[in-house]
A and B are shown apart, each in its own frame.
Chain A
Amino acid sequence: MNEHASAGGAATFAPPAAAASISVQGLSKRYGDIEAVRGIDFEVAPGEVFGFLGPNGAGKSTTISMLCTLVKPTAGTATVAGFDVTRERDAVRRNIGLVFQDTTLDTYLTAEQNMRLHAELYGVPRQAIAPRMRQVLEMVGLWERRSSAVATYSGGMKRRLEIARGLMHSPRVLFLDEPTVGLDPQTRSSIWSYIRELKSAEDITIFLTTHYMDEAEYCDRIAIMDKGVIVVLDTPAALKASVGRDRVTLQTDDDAAAIAEIAERFDLSAQVSEGAVTFGVSDGALFVPRLFAELTVAIRSVSVSRPSLDDVFMSYTGTTIRDAEATALDRNRATVAAFRRRG
């Protein structure tokens, strides 16, 4: 389907040098007939911000649930902070912080009461609770609002409070499952500035999932997941370099004819995605004049873009992330993913 498919599909990814913070071998999860995660391998180094990128239904949430000991793997092993996720469940739980997609705060309580409750459940030494709470609440800018009931918080404030709460017991790994989903763009970027600040302030590994391409750029490394497998894993820069091509997007009067002509005259494989004909070329600016000269189908508009992570996703999976999601129904994500795989 494209030049990366063979390289990406069965590639083994070189482990980081230091003792891994997260180490995963052959991890799989099957729900009845449906394989939500189909044998994945990867390692995350201490201090890394590691992103799992993929459409809804790709298996990201199932993977994160297995790493957080919430779901038992059907095959394979995983260690987090040096502990096995199935055999040393409580040790893993003491060493990880969790921020879920949906809020898990008690909105009747104040921020401070939520934090204290968490500290008590995680056995934070009593004398350490007050200073630590202040430190993490200040980090997310909620110290002044600590005595307000969480019910009065905005969506962004709740998410920040959840991040602070996840850090309360000084976890070695922080898991963020879609930390910015459902937030407005401004709040999203503020959440990211807290995450970046956190990385410099704490000795912590951050594992997050997202389906926003622009957010994946904040990660040190990204694994692109699609249909239960890791398609490719590398730094954002390396991934973009691997695509190495400009993306040309055309609006035409007849997309099918345009695709046929492009294949015939330039030997390029174009696709329709999001209502436009799109293909990659090594130098888009030089190519556009040739396109106009040789194509007989009327062109209504043309744009050329430098490679983005969207293109990376497109290049490795043959679809844009939005199209991939459009095919997946919100409910029964795994089911839909399985049916698509069966073809």
Chain B
Amino acid sequence: MAATTTTAAAAAQLPPPAAVHVPPGSIRGDLRAVKIVWQREMIRFTKDRLRILTSLVQPILFLFVLGSGLSHLASHGTHGVDLRTFVYPGVLCMAVLFTAMFSAASLVWDREFGFLREMMVAPVRRSALVLGKCLGGATVATFQGVIVIALAGLVGVPYAPSLIIAVFALLLTLAFAITAFGVMVAARINQIQSFMAITQMVMMPMYFLSGAIFPVTGLPSWLTVLNRLDPLTYAVDPMRRIVFNHLHISAAARRALDPGLTWWGWRVPSLVEVAVVAAIGLVCLAVGVVEFSGRE
């Protein structure tokens, strides 16, 4: 009904030659471009309900199947803490990781199906398009993370507002960084298959090395080095710290399960870790903008 009224109103005021005047380029124009590219991501995500479900499968497998399945084996090392609670921070990161990367993949898809050209020929800055895409991917991925936040109660993590806010902010930062990384990669790739192969090649090692499924102390030195080089480490560690701050567990359990990340013996503060993630995201964003500006 509302639609009919609008249509009638539009018809009534329709001027005969409705030629529009397009103003010259401006910051405002670029902001509109950022917004509409972001909106497109939202529209496409909400239309794709299957994708919302499928990208939850992997985190849920890790959380409930791996977490429950290994809990008996691990019971001596966890000081009575449920293994599912231990892997929960890592699973939060995982939910965001894959969704963000798939959002960036749509850029390759857009190129294959031609739509990217419509955006590339528009009289707006490429940076506006890339930023809109990254913000869109970040929003979609964070939404996926929110679903995992909602599962907290099932693994013994309390729904404390301070925890939810901190986790949300960290997920948003991580989602943005990963999307920016994906966009940077997507800029150079023309086929969706190649992008998926790269995703598998990069994402799984990143996830396994990050400490999402094991504590980061007492590792063999080669693994310690790889762990410290993995960008995801700097999201998993503060995530675990936030979650463990809200658990009532023994000091021994805390020391064993949430030892904290160190650089040459110096315990890295959470804010520095988050800054590392944000900085990586911004660098990827900048590289992505340069790559897209150079094309066509």
11 A-B pairs with C-beta separation under 8 A: A70-B296, A105-B114, A109-B44, A118-B118, A120-B33, A123-B22, A123-B26, A125-B21, A131-B15, A170-B19, A170-B21
| Contact of A203 with B19 in the complex, beta carbons under 8 Å | yes
Known: A104-B118, A123-B32, A130-B10. Is A94-B40 also a contact (CB below 8 A)?
Answer: no
Alpha-carbon distance between A230 and B21 when the two chains are bound, in angstroms:
34
* CB within 8 Å for A120 and B24 given contacts A104-B118, A105-B115, A105-B118: no
A104, A117, A123: the one within 8 Å of B25 (CB):
A123
Q: Which of B6, B115, B119, B123 contacts A94 (CB under 8 A)?
A: B123
Question: How far is A336 from B29 in the complex, measured between Cα atoms in Å?
Answer: 42
For B296, what are the chain A residues with a Cβ–Cβ distance below 8 Å? 70-71
Select from chain B the residue with minimum beta-carbon distance to A147.
B3
B25: chain A residues at CB < 8 Å are 90, 94, 123
Binary B-proximity of A191-227 (CB < 8 A = 1, otherwise 0): 0000000000111000000000000000000000000
B117–A100 contact, CB under 8 A? yes
In the complex, what residue of chain A is closest to B48 when comparing beta carbons? Answer: A108
Contacting A at CB under 8 A, from B1-57, are: 6, 10-11, 13-15, 17-26, 28-29, 32-33, 35-36, 39-40, 43-44, 47-48
CB distance from B100 to the nearest CB of A (A): 19
For A169, list chain B residues within 8 Å (CB). Answer: 20, 22
Is A121 a contact partner of B119 (Cβ separation < 8 A)?
Answer: yes
Contact B20 A124 (CB under 8 A): yes
Q: Is A13's beta carbon under 8 Å from chain B?
A: no
- Kindly identify which residue among B13, B18, B114, B123 contacts A123, using a CB–CB cutoff of 8 Å: B123
Q: Chain B residues near A91: list those with CB within 8 A.
A: 24, 123
Question: Using an 8 Å CB-CB cutoff, how does the interface string of A87-99 with B read, 1 for contact, 0 for none?
Answer: 0001101110010
Q: Are B18 and A68 in contact (CB under 8 A)?
A: no
Interface residues of A in 39-88 (CB under 8 A from B): 68-71
Which A residues touch B26, using CB under 8 A? 123
Give bound CA distance, A109 to B37, whole Å. 13
CA distance A168 to B116 in the complex (A): 18
Which 3 residue pairs of A and B lie closest in terms of their CB atoms, listed nearest first? A120-B36, A121-B122, A93-B123
Chain A residues proximal to chain B, CB less than 8 Å: 68-71, 90-91, 93-95, 98, 100, 102-109, 113, 116-118, 120-125, 128, 130-132, 134-135, 168-170, 201-203
Residue of A113, A122, A131 touching B123 (CB-CB under 8 A): A122
- Name the B residues within 8 Å of A102 (CB-CB): 114
Is the Cβ of B18 less than 8 Å from the Cβ of A135?
yes
Q: Besides A70-B296, A108-B44, A113-B40, 5 other CB < 8 A contacts?
A: A94-B22, A94-B25, A117-B40, A121-B123, A202-B19
* With known contacts A120-B32, A135-B18, A170-B19, A107–B13 Cβ distance under 8 A: no
Contact partners of B23 in chain A: CB under 8 A: 123, 125
- Complexed CA–CA distance, A71 and B121 (Å): 11
CA distance A107 to B43 in the complex (A): 12
Residues of chain B lying within 8 A (CB to CB) of residue A93? 121-123
| Given A94-B25, A102-B114, A122 contacting B18 (CB threshold 8 A) | no
Q: Nearest chain-B residue to A171 (Cβ)?
A: B22
Asked whether A107 lies within 8 Å of B113 as measured between CB atoms, the reply is: yes
A143 to chain B, nearest CB (A): 9
In the complex formed, the residue of A with least CB distance to B44 is A108
Interface presence of B189 (CB below 8 A) = no
Check if A100 sits within 8 Å of B114, measured CB to CB.
Answer: yes
Cα of A130 to Cα of B20 in the assembled complex, Å: 11
Report Cα–Cα, A203/B21, bound state, in Å.
13
Tell me if B124 counts as interface (CB < 8 A to partner A).
yes
**Contact residues in B for A170 (Cβ distance below 8 Å):** 19-22
Give the Cβ gap from A52 to chain B, nearest Cβ, in Å.
19
